Every structure is written in C-alpha cells, then in structure tokens.
Amino acid sequence: MRNIKLTLEYDGRRYLGWQRLGDSEKTIQGKLEAVLKQMTGETIEIVGSGRTDAGTHARGQVANFKTESTMIPEEMVAVMNRMLPGDIVVKAVQEVPERFHARYNAKGKQYSYWVWNSPIPTAFERHHSFHVTQPLNLAKMEAACEKLVGKHDFLGFSALKKSKKSTIRTIDSIKIEGNPGTGMVQFTLVGNGFLHKMVRIIVGTLVAIGTGAMEDTVIDEVFASKVRMEAGETAPAQGLYLDEVFYQ
C-alpha cells in the first residue's frame, strides 16, 4: 500500500466546502474521491490538511490517500487533471512515507484574504474578494494586527460556541499589503492553526477597525470575554484562500 500526497488548488465557488457530505459531489473531497475511484478502481478516502468552508478557495491545499495503484506520480497528475473539473487542479503528486498524515502532521498554515477597497465594484474579482466601499485606515488595522499576533485563546474569534479541545492558537504574523481606498488589499495570516471561520472573523474585525466602525480595543475585549458577538462580522467566504500548509 502506497501513501500519496497531493498539492491542490481550487476555486471554491461551486462547492459546499472540502468535506464530503453523504453522496454529494458538491464538495472538493467528494469530487477527488470519485476521480480516484475511476483512476485506481479502489474505494479511496482522501484526507485533507483541514476543512475549507463553502465558497472558499485554495492555492496550496494538501491531502493524502492510500492506494495499491502502481501509477507513477507524473501519470497521476496527468490523469487526475484530465478527469477533474477545471476548477480543481492537482499541482503536484508525491509518494510519501506510510505514516505521513496531511492533517495530523501539519505544523502551520498560511491564509490570504482579499478585499476590493473602492467605491466602484470590480467585475472580474467579485467572486474572489470582499467589496468594501468605505476607505480603510491602514495604520489602524496594522496596530490592531499587533494585538492579534502571538499565543491567545481565539474562541471569541471563531464560529465555535464551545469546544472540548483547546482553542489556543499562535498567529506568527499578519501582513496587510495593497492600496486601501483605491484597489485590492491583501491580508496574509500565518499561524500554527486556525479555528472554524477564525480568519474570516479576524478580517471582518480588522475591516470594521479600518473603517472606523470599531476601535482596536475590541481585540482586547474579545480575548477577555471570549464572546463571538463582540467581534466584527464574518467576512464573506469568497475572499479567503488557503495558500500553503507547512510540514517539518
């Protein structure tokens, strides 16, 4: 039995997220498993590094699966890309040690979130960014980012009501680049792990601070209270990308 690692990119607009839902093919996992069954003749369960939400995208999702197929990696890339819909692409295939697990072995992730900050909408990026018409104050948002970086309990910045597992995570960096008020603004977050909708809630809070709807003291208040409703709105799914998964 071989262990195969995939690096994937996908446009999540048409899908209900990563995780297979019953027999639905409206998920990334479901589409991949259907193609793998055709390719190998085996019933395969593929494991992703994490579950991306409905409507979100990936440039560097990582997954692995076990197979008895003798196909070489280059052949797998070609066959899968021929059989998959155009909005899911296999970027690389690699045979890895038997114990490699895409989720459990992940040491960190990088996400990016794209905001189109202009009074005029964009025809081409409307499905891949969040349109914010009010000007964003870059200095205020950067000051708020400094409060978020580090090791904290991010329960209040997640969609979890409660969790039996730890909600403490470490954000290594948050960078904001682009042209606030006149064009695209990119938020890049790197950390050891992210809770359900955590990136989207953080970005929604930063946008509220950038427009003046909130002060950066809200960050401290949410860390203290752990109450989701005290943070900003959840930024829409279409602006979020999983860029990279880090392994040792």
**Is 53 an annotated catalytic residue?**
yes
CA distances, 34 to each of 19, 44, 77, 189 (Å): 13, 9, 15, 32
Comparing C-alpha atoms, which of 164, 141, 157 is closest to residue 193? 157
Catalytic residue among 11, 23, 53, 216: 53
DSSP for 22-81 reads TT-SSSHHHHHHHHHHHHHSS----EESS-PPTT-EEEEEEEEEEE-----HHHHHHHHH
CB 241 within 8 A of CB 112: yes
Helix axes 198-211, 217-225, angle to 10 degrees: 140
Q: Which residues are designated catalytic?
A: 53
